[in-house]
Structures are given as C-alpha cells and as structure tokens.
Structure 1
Amino acid sequence: MKIERIELNNFGSYEDLNFFDVMTDDQSKRIIVIGGKNGAGKTTLFTAIQICLYGHASFGFKTSGKRYLKEIYDLINNQARLDETKSAYVKICFSESRIDTDHYEVTRFWTWSNSIITEIFSVKQNGVLLDEEAAMNFQNYLLHLIPPELHKLYFFDGEEIADYFLDEQHNNIKDALLILSGNDTYELLYNNIRRLLNGVESGNESIAQNYADQRESLAKYSQEEAQLIGEIVELRTDVERLEADLNHENKAYAANGGVTLEVWKDLQNALKDEEDRRERINWKLKSAAAEILPFIIVKDLLANVKEQISAEKDLQAYRILQSSLNTSQFKRCISNIMKKTSSHSPAEDTTLLVNAIQSFFENQDLENKTPIFMLSEDDGLSILNKIAAVEEYKTATFSKDRRRIEDSIQRSTKIRTQLQKSSIENFESHVKCVSDLTNQIERLKSELTGKETALQELQDRTEELKKALNHSRKALEAELKKQSVSALSDRMLLLVEELQEQQYKKLIADVEHDLNRKFRELIRKDDFVDQIYLDNDFSLHLVRNQAVEVSALKLTAKRHGAATLKVSLKQAGFQSLMTQLNTTEESLGFALADCDEETMILPIELDYTRFSNGEKQVLVMSLYWAIMNQSHNKLPFIIDTPFARIDTEHRANITEKFFKELQGQLFVLSTNEEIRHEHMVSLDQQIAKVYMLEYGEDKRTRISEGSYFEVK
C-alpha cells in the first residue's frame, strides 16, 4: 500500500481545499517530511489520515454513533462550520499491489445543519465508484489490513508510543504481533478444526469437546474483558469530561461575580459589623466630649479647685479640733488628771495646760482661710475623683479612635465594592447546573465501580477457567492414548495448539534478537544492558551482569529462604545462580553454604521505569522496530513528533539506524526542534517530497511544497 495524494477540505485549520501530492516513480524515495511549528497543523493531518481510512475505529468507537459524529463536528474548520452551505472532506488516494496494481480513492465527506453532522463514505477503485456494500467490504478490508490493534504501530505518535509499549497491558502488543506476523491464522485453523470436531458423531461425551468448549468460553471471557475495559475507559473519559464541565461552570460563575448565598450573607454581616463598630466608637467619643472635654479645656482651673477642696477639708478638720478643745468635757478631763498629780494649785494648772494645748493646735493659715465650696465629704470625694479622671485621661485616645473609624470606613468601602462586583442573580441556575453535573458524575462513578467489580469477577473466573482448561488438556492427552475413534480431530486440536505455541515462541525469539541488536545500535552506551528478554506475556526484562556478594546471598537464604531470594534476584538472576551452583531450588541453601566464592556474576534485572525519558524512548523505538520487522506487508507509517523524548546524542543514530531501515512508505511530521538540517542531509537519498506547514494570523494552515525550515 502506497499513499499518492492526500486532500483536506475545511478540516481543522485547513480551510478550503489543501492537498499533498506525494506520488513519485522512484521506488527508493519513500520518505515524506512534513515540517511545521507547534500548532501549524501536523497533528490535524495525522488525525485526518486515520479518520479517512478508519472512521469511528480511529477513535476506538464500535459504531459511527453520536459520540463519533461529535468528534468529527469539533474537527470541522471553525469558519466553514458557520456556513451550513459549505461541506468538508478528507480524501486519500493510494495504490495497492497484489496480482495487479489497483488505484483507490477513499473519501469521507461531511455536511452539517443545526450542529447535526452527516457523513458519506465512498470508495473509487481504478476510477469506478463502488456501491455501498462494496465500499463497506473495502472498509472491512482496510480494518483487516491494519486492524485497530495495529493503529498505534502504523500511526506512531512519539509522545504516546512509550506509554503504549511500557504500560501493564501487554495483551494488545501480543495480539498486534500475532496479526503482523500472520500467526493469527493458527487461531482460525483451530476454530475450523473445532467446527469439524462438532460434526463428528460420538457415542459418548468427548473429552476433546469439553476441552474445546472451555477454550471457547475462555475466548468469550477475553472478549467480555476487552469490552469491559473499553466501557471502563469510556466511563472514565465521561467522568473526566463532566468534572471538567463542573470546574468550568464554577470558574465561569465566579468570573461573572457569582457567589454563594453564604458568601453574600457573610459580606452583608461584615458590612453591618463595621457600621456597629463605628457607632460604638462615635458614642464613646460623644460621651467623652460631654463628660471629659469641658474639664480638659479648664484643666489649670481644676488644679485650683482641687487645692481649694483640700484646704477646705483641712479647715473643717481644724475647726472640729478647735471646737473639741473648747468643750467643758475636755476641760473637766484635764482638771481630773491634774487632781491626781501632786499639783499645789490644780485649778490654775488646769487653766494653764488647756491654754497651752489650744495654743499648740492653733493654725493661723487655716484661720485666715475662707471656705468657698463648703462641700460635704461625699461630694468632695466625688469631685476629686472626677478631677483625677480628667487628669489621667489621654487625649491621644481621640486620635486613635478617629483612626479606628477611618479604618472601618475603608473596610466598609472594600466590602461594598465586593458586593457590587458580586451577584446572586444566577445563583439558582448555577446551583441547578452544579447539582445536575454532580448527579451525573456520581451516577457514572457508580456505574464505573460496577464495571470495575464485574471486570475483577470476570478476571477471577478467567483464572479458574484457565486452571480447569489445563486439567482438561491433561485429561485429553491421557484419553487420546486409549482412543482411536475421532483421534485425528482430537489430536489436530492439540497439534495446532502446540504448533501455535512453538511459532509464538519462535516469534518471541525473533523479536528478542532484533530488539537486542537494535537497542545496542541506538543506545550509544557500552555495557548499558547485557541482555533483554521477552517472556510469553510480552513483558520486558532488561538485565545487566553484576558482581553480587555471596555472603549477602547466604544471609538472605538463611533468614528468609530460597523463595525470597528468587523474588529478590528475579527469574534470570535466580536461574543463573542455580545453574552456577548446579543445584535445585530446594537445595539452594545448602549449595550456598558450601560455596567458597566471595562474589558471583549474576544477571540483575533493571527497572526500566527509572530510565531517563530519552533512554526509555530508545528502548521503545528498538522494540517497535523489532516488532515491525516481523510484518509481511509493506504499509505506510505516519510518525508524529518522532523525537518526542530523544536527546540530541541519540537522534543521529536513530536517523541512520531506525528511519532509514524501516520498511515501507514513511511520513514524518516534525518541528524544527526535531528533524534538523543534519538529519535531512542523512535522509536525502530516501526523501521523496518535503512540505512546510505555516499557520497564519488568519488562523488557517498553508502548505508550501519543497520547503522545510532552513532547508530549501
């Protein structure tokens, strides 16, 4: 199969008709290089080719339903989509050589109205339009030529291919490898023999029939598992899409000033709190102005008042004392005391003593004082306390309170601004939208949980069936030794199965050999990996020979046993250890105890997930090359972002040892940071056409033939 022309009309950024005429008569020139910066339209071209050839299958959909048509509608050129009189299509012209060379035109044509899109699929063979049935048969032929399992191998996205090869789903690669190499034919042969066996009359229940039934059940389980995995992936995609819609709704509501009812109430309450705070401060200032401020104004007079009140208090005490000294009671007290003395003239002495005491307590300053206020004791104390409060009052409090009022006004202004920018006008519709999206997400998550549970149960049943199948196989082998009737068909089942297993082992060995050779050519590091193994599940095992201390092996075996040692060393290392010690797993502990060596060279498995991105990409491209080397068909490759994770050091090597040796037509979609001038020079003898994609300010892609960045 060789692509000769690609046309895109109103597809993606390709407005109106755009085409790539890649036909050439020189069979040695098989590489087409299409350059363009990010966003120029390379990935759109990559997608268009897949859609044209495979339709809904390019997205992994089972049918051309609403989801597929929605994907197509999103890919139609934005300007063209506004005009419902326009149309869009992708056309690929290619030749296919079997007995004769046939020329085909495959077209997917789209029209739209009210956002509803219609697709027309047509095929021309040697210029003759095929009818609908023949066109669908040709579609099935394309799906057989490059089945969905092989899409990622022929449509190679450098940024995603590593995840495809290095994830835990090894079955997709295994199935792809069987189809590539033609080994899926054994499965067809097995099913045909089984149908033949079903037609053989037998007087008793055939063990082979039971074995074949179990094989069929296992195949059905595999189909159900694949379907469940596909449904789980779709559900997860839908959940992610709805969660993105929910996030977008919340952001859009917030961007338009939308707030929740609680936030709105909080802002209103905060505004009221600020108003209450200012009211309290103003009341405090008014109170101080009425009770304190007048006295502060006459603060100097208050000192005189305080002094006068104190003097009047002293005068009052003085007069009380003087009055007490002039009482007859005081004089009798003195007279009685004098009588008890040895005084010769008590009356005279009494008069002298009373006069002396009165003279002692006499205070002329107080005598000259004139009372003004004549306050009671309680009133005087109250006024003195008020004066003390005025004297202690700090006038800075007025300034502090004014600043507090100003700060509160600023906060109120800020809150009012927030309220003006905020809105609860669309709150109800927002809540309803959020509720609907949340309910959909919860429903899908519940369905997803159910599917995941069903998948786990199915996988458990599959494991049980595999055990039963193994038991049935052994029973069939035993029965075949006794039976001769129907033995041919029975033995053929086992023969085909055994032959398929042998061929698959050979296929694994061929891939393993090519993988090791290509990886050493590309990695540019000596002794990076000594050997790469592939097991029957197509899991990768990279080992490097390293010296291991025997004492550590002895300690592990002694403490935890050979089973732990097997887990630690992995399969290759453990097998090498037993081989070098010439022992079995059961006797490994004794053999290690008798070992006198200090170190042993063992193949230690490396964790390739810890490799650098460049090293992982080299590993993936080596594996890819090894797998594609098993193909019996020359089909075109479309490679987008070829050097996605490859460092500069390895790019020249990959250009020489990968691109130049890959069989079949090759489309390379590259930025100026990937395929550069030196790579173009290296590939020059195999380059058929060069194109440059440029995305202009008018938001459309233009194609320039014969140009490639600095290469003209």
Structure 2
Amino acid sequence: MLLHKITLENFGAYRGRHSLELTPKKNRPIVLIGGLNGCGKTTLLDAIQLSLYGRRANCSARGGRNYETFLRESINRQAEAGEGASVAIEFSIAVEDKEQFYTVVRGWGADGKDTLTVEIDGVSEPVIAGGWLEHVEEILPFDLSSLFFFDGEKIESLADPEQAGAVIRTAVRSLMGVHAVEQLRTDLAALQRRQEMTPKDQELMAVLEAREAEYEAAERAVDAEVQKRSKLKTALDRLQGELDQSESDFEREGGRLFERVKDLETDRGRVKSQVEASASALVNIAASSLPLLLLQDQLEVLSKQAEQESEASKATQVVEVLADRDKWLLGLLDSLPDSTRLSVSRKLAADRKKRAAVASWEHGFRLPHDAVAQLAVLHQTLVHDRKRARELLDESADLQDKLDTLDRQLSSVPDQTRVESIMAERRELHDEVAVARADHERSSAVVEDLKRRRDQLEAAVTRARKEAGDSTWDAEAAKRLFDYAERTRGTLTQFSSALVKRHIGLLEVAVLQSFNELMRKRGLVKNLHIDPESFALKLWDEEGEELNLGRLSAGERQLLAISLLAGLMKVAGNRLPSVIDTPLGRLDSQHRQHLVDRYFPKAGRQVLLLSTDEEIDEHLLARLKPSISHTYMLVHDDTELTTAVVPGYWWTSGAIHVA
C-alpha cells in the first residue's frame, strides 16, 4: 500500500480545501510534515484513519462523543453556514502484480451523517463503497492500523507486557498467515457443529438455509440494481452532456433569434410606428412658428422697436394734456411768490420737453398698439416649441437606435434550413434525457424497495438463527465428516503452532537487533524472548537476569515499541506505509539521532513524519535530508483560525518561519 495524496476540506483546523502530495521519490521514503503544537498534525493522522475506517477510526479528538457528534463538531468553525467537511485519501495497492489506484472520499454535513465514495482506477465503485468495512479489512485490517498510524508519544504503551502480547498476537495472525490457518480451523469447527442435528433441528436448519438463500438472493438483487442504476446515471450524464452541447450549437447558430423572430418583427413594427409618429410630430412643429427661431436677432430688434413706438404713442397723448394741465396749475399758484412760481414753471416745462422728446421717436415700422404683447406671446411659444423639438429629436434618435438594433438582430436570424437539423436533434435529446432521467429515478426507487426487502429478510435470518441455535445432527455421513474435520483441525493446530514458533523465532532476532541498533546504552538488553502461547515479551540483561520493563525510561520504552514494530514489519515483509505523529517525543538527543539515522530511512518504502521544530531540528534535518522526498509546513493563522499547508520546512529554502 502506498499513499499518494491526502485532502482535507473544512476539517478541524483546516478551513477550505488543502491537499498534500505524498508519493515518495525513489530511495527517498520520508515525507516530513512540520508544525507547532495545535497546528493540525494529529488532525492529518485522524483524517487518514477517518477516511479508511469511518466510525471505527481511533481519532484522537473524538473522546467519548458519538460518531455523528464528533463529525459535526469537527467541521471548521470558520466554514460558511451550510458547508460540510470531507477527508479524502488516494493510495495504491498491488493486486496480482498490477497496481490499483484507490480514491476514498468521506464527507458529511451539519447533520453528522457521512457518505463514502470509492473510485478504483478512476471508476466509481458504489458496491465496494457499500461494503467498504469488509473491503478495507483485506487491504489494511483495522486491528493492525495502530501499527502503521500511531502517535510516537503514545507508542511506548506497546512496551507494556500485556499490550505487547496482544499486538504481537494480532500481527502474527494477520501479517504472517496464521490468521488464515486459524480461520480454516474455525470454519471446520462450525462445520462440525452443524453435523449433530435432530429431525427438528434439521427442519430449523432447513428454514435457516432457505432464509439465508433468500437473503443472499436479495443482496445480489440489490447489488445488481445498484450497478444498473449506476449505468443509467452514466447514460443520463452522457445524454445531458450531448444536450448541453446541442444547446450550445443551437445558440451559436442563432437558434435563439430564430425562436424569437416573430417577437422581433412585432417589436420592429411597433418601433417603426413610433419613429414615424415622432417624425410627423417634428414636421408639425416645424410647420408652425418654429422657423422664426432663425430670426431671433431680428425679433429682438423688432421687440425693442415695438416698445419704443408704444412709449412714443403714450408720450404724444400725454404731452397735449400736460400743456393744459400745467397752465391751469400755474393759475392756481398766482398767490405764491414769483420765484416759487418760476421754479415750478421751469420743472413743468422740463417734464413736457422730455416727454415731447419721447413722442418724437421715429415710428418707422408703424406697429400696432398691442405689438409688444403679441411679441411676448410669440417668444413664449418659441421657447416651448424649441424644448419640444429637442425632446422629439432625442426621442427620434433613441427610437432609430432601437430600430437599427432590431434590424441587425433580424438580419442575423439564420435561415430555417440552417437550424432545422439542430432543432430536431435538440428535441430528440430532450426526449431521450427525459426518458433516461425517468429510468434512473425508477431504478432508484427499485433499489430502495430491494433494500427494504433485504433488510426484512436479514431480520428473518436473525430470527431463524436464534431458533436454530447451535444445532447439530447425528447422521452417519455427518459423523464421517465430523471425524475428518476433527483430524484436519488437529493437523491445522500443529501446523499453526509450528508456524507461530517459526515466526516468533525470526521476530525475536529482528526485534532485538533493531532495539540494540537504536539504543544509546550498549548491552542493556542481551536477550529477548516471546512466549509462543501467550505472546508475552521478556528481556534479559547481560548478567542473564530478567529485565523488568517498568525499569526502562519512557524513551527506552518508546524505542522498544518501535523496535517491536520494525521487527514485525521485517519478518512479515510488509510494504505498508508508516505515519508517525510526534516521532521523537520523550527521547534524548542521542536516541533521536539513532532513530533518524537507523530507523526512519529503513522503516519502509513510505514514512510520514509529523514533527515539531524541537523534535526534528536543524541538525537532525540535515542528517535526514538524503532520505526526504517532500517537506511541508502547517502554518496556523490565529486571526482566521485556520491552518494552511505550504511547501518546505524550518531551515529549508522557501519555508515559512513561524515562532
């Protein structure tokens, strides 16, 4: 198994979508991922396990919460409302000397309900996704996942005698072929239990077998219909793509204009009528007083002349009256002193003289007495007509633009023969898409009905099994089968014991060799023994005395646990990846250097290290560099509350340095 890529979207500290390429380069197995505490290193480890094992995954942040609550609360707090989260992993495995590429995506929303999609070599596999828990057990059994995805600070617990025994037992059974032998023994035992049945038990077993056959048939029917639905969905997507292309061709050929040609012609007729009405209104206004705007200067002169002639006429009438009035007025002033009468007489004479001068103005135009009023009315009319003419001109220009646009659109309308074939194909595709969508919806309904039927049969099988119990029967043929199975089980027991002893012997040598290579204290452990029955781990020092594992320091226990894993992988010849969080926790500088020099480069063909700057520091980075394929940094933004993935590592070119 080889990890190629991991992608997180709105998961934990990772807001948005973040991906890490993990495919190692030749002879460079290590992918180094750096980040300070709280930046999301352990979240990456959780994401790998969650994508593979779902609710069974040993996620560090889950605690005692149920699965749905954990998923809801693991959505990034800064994600947009309504956005969900997902984790995806891409990996490859060797199947019959051929490499298969898997893409496993697990996503969920605010309701905490997860969905799983699986692609193999780029092809969606809904059936495998439905049975993923069983399928992934064939790739990497869940019980063994802790051997490959682990926290370096917690791995020391494997050095506990009881826990080490459980790990060794699981690893020997699963990685070294013992499980297959034991499973065969179990199957034979189950076969034996089915042999000693009474007639009543036989009847119960017949009912059970009938129910199981019905259930298996229902399961096959569900799988077949799911496959059929998947094919129908593929066909629907293909037809929808062809329809979209046809719609695009129809649009490009002017089909939309062709469909609107009647509306365009109606709009053109209406706009043309408006253009003609506007032109007629302009003609009418031009036929009135509007042309007099060309004589504005002359009209101003005429207005001034009319005002002068009006003033002159008024003055002529007043002068004659004023002469008699002034004579009468002076007669009334005889009693006044002569100087006073003389002053009044002069002022009256001056007034008459002034008015006489006005009355003498030339009346060359002989304009009527109401000419001033007529010219004022004409001025107002011209102001109104000029404003209206401008409005009509603007309106006419706008209407002409609309008319030109409609003419261009009508001229772009394709000939019917050009779009007839596309329209026919488009109609046909619309019909085919409708039929395909209906078929897909019917198949989906059938799948749901079959699933309900399958669930009912599963419940019936459970009831039949409960009634049948562990019944056996007593027929002669069954007795022979029972005896043969018993002898075979005995042989398998001996074979299993021999196989375990052989692997245990190899494992003892491999673990001891690895431990001594990693230890700073030379000769601390002289011998190592694993009990083939209990799988208990025991150590002896140079003086031949049994070494109490509790006397080892936390760092030494961590190295012992790592040595145990290294030995298991070496004996099993396993090519699974290792993902180690906090790889150098609790180790002193010399042990760290040994681990960097002697373990990580040889731990497998792919090793992911999730480290802080105080674990793999600048010195260890230099020693590890020849084996490093990729480096990444997890940089947390305290303002945005999100972690970003950037290339590089502390002390490498281009890395982002954070304090």
Equivalent residue number for residue 109 of structure 1: 107
Q: Deviations over 1:290-347 (max 9, x none)?
A: xxxxxxxxxxxxxxxxxxxxxxxxxxxxxxxxxxxxxxxxxxxxxxxxxxxxxxxxxx
**1-structure distance, mates of 2:2, 2:83:** 31
Q: Deviations over 1:136-156 (max 9, x none)?
A: 334422133222211211112
Quote the offset at 1:197 in angstroms.
4.2
Equivalent residue number for residue 706 of structure 1: 648
Aligned with 1:680: secondary structure? helix
**2-structure distance, mates of 1:41, 1:539:** 36
Quote the offset at 1:662 in angstroms.
1.1
**2-structure distance, mates of 1:60, 1:689:** 25
Equivalent residue number for residue 390 of structure 2: none
**2-structure distance, mates of 1:60, 1:85:** 24
**1-structure distance, mates of 2:187, 2:571:** 25
**Matching of residue 497 in structure 1 with residue 493 in structure 2:** yes
**2-structure distance, mates of 1:126, 1:683:** 34
Go from structure 1 to structure 2 and tell me whether the alpha carbon gap of 1:200 and 1:9 turns closer, same or farther (over 3 Å shift).
closer
Residue type of the alignment partner of 2:12: G
Equivalent residue number for residue 592 of structure 2: 651
Quote the offset at 1:709 in angstroms.
4.3
Go from structure 1 to structure 2 and tell me whether the alpha carbon gap of 1:685 and 1:136 turns closer, same or farther (over 3 Å shift).
farther
Equivalent residue number for residue 221 of structure 1: none
Equivalent residue number for residue 575 of structure 1: none
Checking the alignment, whether the CA contact within 8 Å between 1:73 and 1:117 is kept in structure 2 is yes
Checking the alignment, whether the CA contact within 8 Å between 1:174 and 1:537 is kept in structure 2 is no
Equivalent residue number for residue 346 of structure 2: none
Checking the alignment, whether the CA contact within 8 Å between 2:72 and 2:109 is kept in structure 1 is no
Quote the offset at 1:699 in angstroms.
1.6
Equivalent residue number for residue 81 of structure 2: 84
Equivalent residue number for residue 143 of structure 1: 137
**2-structure distance, mates of 1:49, 1:68:** 16
Checking the alignment, whether the CA contact within 8 Å between 1:690 and 1:708 is kept in structure 2 is no
Match of 1:539 among 514, 526, 536: 536
Aligned with 1:59: secondary structure? coil
Match of 1:642 among 562, 577, 583: 583
**2-structure distance, mates of 1:170, 1:524:** 22
**1-structure distance, mates of 2:33, 2:550:** 32
Residue type of the alignment partner of 1:505: K
Q: Deviations over 1:24-58 (max 9, x none)?
A: 5x432221100011111101111111111111111
**2-structure distance, mates of 1:684, 1:44:** 25
Residue type of the alignment partner of 1:71: F
Equivalent residue number for residue 230 of structure 1: none
Checking the alignment, whether the CA contact within 8 Å between 1:149 and 1:175 is kept in structure 2 is no
Equivalent residue number for residue 152 of structure 1: 146
Q: Deviations over 1:688-709 (max 9, x none)?
A: 2110111122221111113334
Checking the alignment, whether the CA contact within 8 Å between 1:149 and 1:172 is kept in structure 2 is no
Residue type of the alignment partner of 2:91: F
Equivalent residue number for residue 47 of structure 2: 48
Q: Deviations over 1:575-607 (max 9, x none)?
A: xxxxxxxxxxxxxxxxxxxxxxxxxxxx21121
Checking the alignment, whether the CA contact within 8 Å between 2:152 and 2:581 is kept in structure 1 is yes
Equivalent residue number for residue 129 of structure 1: 124
Match of 1:95 among 92, 102, 106: 92
Quote the offset at 1:188 in angstroms.
1.5
Aligned with 2:489: secondary structure? helix
Equivalent residue number for residue 509 of structure 1: 505
Count residues in correspondence. Answer: 368
Go from structure 1 to structure 2 and tell me whether the alpha carbon gap of 1:497 and 1:28 turns closer, same or farther (over 3 Å shift).
same
Quote the offset at 1:79 in angstroms.
1.3
Quote the offset at 1:672 in angstroms.
0.8
Aligned with 2:538: secondary structure? strand
Quote the offset at 1:170 in angstroms.
4.7
Go from structure 1 to structure 2 and tell me whether the alpha carbon gap of 1:145 and 1:171 turns closer, same or farther (over 3 Å shift).
farther
Matches within 5 A, 1:523-538: 523-535=519-531, 536-538=533-535
Aligned with 2:634: secondary structure? strand
Checking the alignment, whether the CA contact within 8 Å between 2:524 and 2:542 is kept in structure 1 is no
**Matching of residue 190 in structure 1 with residue 132 in structure 2:** no
What RMSD, in angstroms, separates the aligned Cα atoms of the two structures?
Answer: 2.7
Quote the offset at 1:89 in angstroms.
0.8
Equivalent residue number for residue 301 of structure 1: none
Equivalent residue number for residue 327 of structure 2: none
Go from structure 1 to structure 2 and tell me whether the alpha carbon gap of 1:494 and 1:105 turns closer, same or farther (over 3 Å shift).
same
Quote the offset at 1:495 in angstroms.
1.0
**2-structure distance, mates of 1:11, 1:59:** 16
**2-structure distance, mates of 1:485, 1:86:** 60
Q: Deviations over 1:51-104 (max 9, x none)?
A: 11111111399xxx9811111222111112xx4321211111122221322222
Go from structure 1 to structure 2 and tell me whether the alpha carbon gap of 1:639 and 1:66 turns closer, same or farther (over 3 Å shift).
closer
Aligned with 1:660: secondary structure? helix
**1-structure distance, mates of 2:15, 2:608:** 22
Aligned with 2:604: secondary structure? coil
Aligned with 2:602: secondary structure? coil
Equivalent residue number for residue 163 of structure 1: 157
Go from structure 1 to structure 2 and tell me whether the alpha carbon gap of 1:485 and 1:686 turns closer, same or farther (over 3 Å shift).
closer
Quote the offset at 1:497 in angstroms.
0.6
Go from structure 1 to structure 2 and tell me whether the alpha carbon gap of 1:119 and 1:41 turns closer, same or farther (over 3 Å shift).
same
Checking the alignment, whether the CA contact within 8 Å between 1:512 and 1:532 is kept in structure 2 is yes
Equivalent residue number for residue 564 of structure 1: none
Q: Deviations over 1:173-202 (max 9, x none)?
A: 134212121210111121233345457789
**1-structure distance, mates of 2:93, 2:568:** 23
Go from structure 1 to structure 2 and tell me whether the alpha carbon gap of 1:85 and 1:505 turns closer, same or farther (over 3 Å shift).
same
Matches within 5 A, 1:213-612: 488-535=484-531, 536-546=533-543, 603-612=544-553
**2-structure distance, mates of 1:544, 1:494:** 38
Residue type of the alignment partner of 1:606: L
Matches within 5 A, 1:676-691: 676-691=617-632
Go from structure 1 to structure 2 and tell me whether the alpha carbon gap of 1:140 and 1:545 turns closer, same or farther (over 3 Å shift).
same
Equivalent residue number for residue 32 of structure 1: 31
Quote the offset at 1:23 in angstroms.
3.2
Quote the offset at 1:3 in angstroms.
1.4
Checking the alignment, whether the CA contact within 8 Å between 1:158 and 1:640 is kept in structure 2 is yes
Checking the alignment, whether the CA contact within 8 Å between 1:637 and 1:667 is kept in structure 2 is yes
Checking the alignment, whether the CA contact within 8 Å between 2:514 and 2:567 is kept in structure 1 is yes
TM-score, with length taken from structure 1 = 0.49
**1-structure distance, mates of 2:93, 2:525:** 41
Equivalent residue number for residue 298 of structure 2: none
**2-structure distance, mates of 1:545, 1:707:** 42
Question: Unaligned regions of 5+ residues in structure 1, if any?
Answer: 204-482, 547-602
Go from structure 1 to structure 2 and tell me whether the alpha carbon gap of 1:154 and 1:667 turns closer, same or farther (over 3 Å shift).
same
Go from structure 1 to structure 2 and tell me whether the alpha carbon gap of 1:202 and 1:703 turns closer, same or farther (over 3 Å shift).
closer
**2-structure distance, mates of 1:525, 1:165:** 18
Aligned with 1:681: secondary structure? helix
Aligned with 1:502: secondary structure? helix
Checking the alignment, whether the CA contact within 8 Å between 1:34 and 1:708 is kept in structure 2 is no
Quote the offset at 1:628 in angstroms.
2.1
Quote the offset at 1:515 in angstroms.
1.2
Aligned with 1:497: secondary structure? helix
TM-score, with length taken from structure 2 = 0.52
Go from structure 1 to structure 2 and tell me whether the alpha carbon gap of 1:544 and 1:134 turns closer, same or farther (over 3 Å shift).
closer
**2-structure distance, mates of 1:75, 1:69:** 10
Equivalent residue number for residue 570 of structure 2: 629
**1-structure distance, mates of 2:154, 2:93:** 29
Checking the alignment, whether the CA contact within 8 Å between 1:180 and 1:630 is kept in structure 2 is no
**Identical aligned residues as a percent:** 30
Aligned with 2:105: secondary structure? strand
**1-structure distance, mates of 2:165, 2:519:** 27
Match of 2:637 among 696, 701, 706: 696
Quote the offset at 1:625 in angstroms.
1.0
